[in-house]
């Protein structure tokens, strides 16, 4: 390659190793050999590798007559990257579709598939969705690491006191624990880690999952599948599991009212526990949605919900380059932080414009971007949690109204600290910035 020609992104990294998702190893090997002979294999392997090494969780390709634009989702933000020319882009897509068991010739229909990828010792699931659009084709690639980079609730950003309270409620009997988050705000990760923090050694946990959408495996959690080839309804799967006399019934997805009612019978009569989750913008709304979803069981549910965990994701300040500043008293007052409690708040390092990056003699002196975050100012994301422990007034009101303003007011009067209060604590702990909070909370949940 001539020295003045910059390598493409896919050429700048070591490629991933692909493994097609076929049960027959000989068929998988044959597919892999065939794909390797294509012109797009090296491009696909390099592009996926580059995305992984850039910490992208999603990649969006927009294919047109000119080629393909590329965008990475990094820490919840889309970033534009250099495009691929038409020949390279099409060759790459053919390979990716082959490996994901999709039809490379179909550029119009909605398709989806998946392939396994390995980079060094790390394993990933590459999920591909394609759809024809008026300008060409849009392809979304999601990259899911097999090894989650968090092990504990503290790793996710939860304060120690809240960790202790949540564990206490996860390990209690005769009640319901509900976990919530807005769509795309890390509910699955928090669910897995929270369940991992519960006492699964002395209690029997039974999870009820749709066969086509199994949950990641958690030690000492026994899955009970329904739908698909099982021929079972959720009700039938639960009825069979009850014979094992488990302690905890887990519902990662909503089930029908008859099934949930049967699980509630176990909670009320035999001191069993239900742990479930749902998408909602905050904990109080999650409580209201659970009650509304099973309206004929509202009194029973309202009286049995012991805790509701809510969360919002924010970008974490890069520890290598974040800058501390002494907050003025007025700012501390606005945040509700007592004087003298916090000496410094932190913000991302933002380099001055290029024309101002000069030495003492006025000569250009470009500032080298932080080697950790590559000049983003943030590295990774953390969750800001809120933990609702419903009081008697909220339990009563939630069976009578869905007025969120009123319900939030009652919850606060009974001592609930919402996510905004926790957000200020996260800033005070130096984990994120005020600007990031404004950005995150400006989004529609």
* 131-188 pLDDT per residue, tens: 999 999 999 999 998 877 788 999 998 999 999 999 999 999 999 999 999 998 889 9
404, 328 contact by CB (below 8 A): no
How sure is the predictor about 399, in pLDDT bands with cuts at 50, 70 and 90? very high
Residue 247 DSSP class: S
Flag whether pLDDT at 414 surpasses 90: yes
* 237-269 pLDDT per residue, tens: 999 999 999 999 999 999 999 999 999 999 999
384, 426 contact by CB (below 8 A): yes
For residue 4, the model assigns a pLDDT of 52
pTM of this structure: 0.84
* 216-233 pLDDT per residue, tens: 888 889 999 999 999 999
Two tokens at 116?
A: 């396994």
311, 185 contact by CB (below 8 A): yes
Flag whether pLDDT at 445 surpasses 60: no
CA separation for the pair 205, 194 (Å, rounded): 13
Flag whether pLDDT at 444 surpasses 70: no
Two tokens at 378?
A: 């943030």
55, 74 contact by CB (below 8 A): yes
CA separation for the pair 176, 305 (Å, rounded): 5
Flag whether pLDDT at 113 surpasses 70: yes
> What is the total residue count of the chain?
445
CA separation for the pair 160, 157 (Å, rounded): 9
Rounded (10°) CA dihedral 377, 379, 380, 386: -60
Residue indicated by tokens 């950005």: 439
In 191-272, which ranges are E strands?
A: 205-210, 221-226, 248-251
Q: How far is CA 29 from the centre of its chain?
A: 32
Residue indicated by tokens 């030690």: 219
The vertex-427 CA angle with 423 and 428, nearest 5°, equals: 115
Of 268, 207, 196, which is closest to residue 241 (Cα–Cα)?
207
For residue 294, the model assigns a pLDDT of 93
Walk me through the domains of the chain, giving residue ranges and CATH numbers.
9-145 (3.30.450.90), 160-309+385-415 (3.40.50.300)
Flag whether pLDDT at 352 surpasses 70: yes
Flag whether pLDDT at 441 surpasses 50: yes
């Amino acid at each position: 390659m001539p020295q003045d020609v910059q390598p493409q992104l896919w050429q700048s990294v070591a490629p991933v190793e692909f493994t097609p998702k076929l049960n027959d190893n000989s068929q998988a090997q044959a597919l892999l050999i065939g794909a390797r002979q294509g012109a797009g294999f090296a491009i696909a392997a390099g592009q996926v590798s580059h995305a992984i090494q850039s910490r992208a969780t999603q990649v969006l390709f927009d294919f047109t007559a000119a080629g393909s634009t590329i965008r990475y989702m990094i820490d919840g933000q889309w970033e534009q990257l250099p495009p691929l020319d038409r020949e390279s882009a099409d060759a790459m897509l053919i390979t990716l579709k082959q490996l994901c068991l999709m039809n490379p010739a179909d550029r119009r229909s909605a398709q989806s598939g998946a392939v396994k990828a390995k980079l060094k010792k790390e394993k990933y699931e590459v999920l591909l969705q394609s759809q024809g659009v008026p300008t060409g084709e849009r392809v979304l690639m999601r990259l899911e690491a097999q090894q989650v980079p968090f092990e504990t609730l503290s790793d996710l950003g939860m304060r120690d006191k809240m960790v202790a309270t949540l564990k206490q409620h996860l390990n209690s009997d005769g009640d319901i624990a509900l976990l919530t988050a807005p769509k795309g705000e890390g509910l699955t990760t928090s669910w897995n880690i929270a369940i991992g923090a519960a006492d699964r050694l002395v209690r029997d946990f039974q999870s009820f999952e749709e066969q086509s959408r199994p949950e990641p495996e958690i030690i000492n959690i026994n899955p009970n599948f329904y739908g698909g080839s099982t021929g079972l309804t959720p009700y039938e799967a639960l009825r069979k599991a009850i014979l094992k006399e488990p302690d905890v019934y887990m519902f990662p997805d909503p089930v029908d009212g008859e099934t949930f009612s049967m699980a509630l019978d176990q909670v009320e009569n035999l001191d069993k526990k239900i742990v479930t989750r749902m998408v909602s913008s905050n904990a109080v709304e999650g409580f209201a949605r659970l009650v509304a979803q099973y309206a004929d069981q509202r009194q029973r549910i309202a009286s049995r919900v012991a805790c509701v965990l809510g969360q919002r994701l924010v970008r974490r300040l890069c520890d290598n380059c974040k800058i501390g500043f002494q907050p003025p008293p007025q700012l501390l007052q606005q945040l509700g932080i007592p004087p003298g409690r916090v000496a410094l708040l932190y913000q991302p390092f933002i380099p001055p414009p290029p024309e101002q990056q000069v030495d003492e003699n006025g000569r250009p002196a470009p500032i080298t971007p932080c080697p950790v975050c590559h000049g983003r100012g943030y590295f990774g994301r953390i969750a800001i949690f809120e933990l609702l422990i419903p009081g008697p007034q909220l339990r009563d009101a939630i069976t009578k109204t869905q007025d969120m303003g009123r319900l939030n007011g009652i919850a606060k009067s009974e001592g609930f600290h919402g996510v905004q209060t926790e957000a200020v604590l996260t800033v005070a702990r130096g984990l994120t910035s005020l600007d990031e909070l404004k950005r995150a909370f400006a989004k529609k949940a």
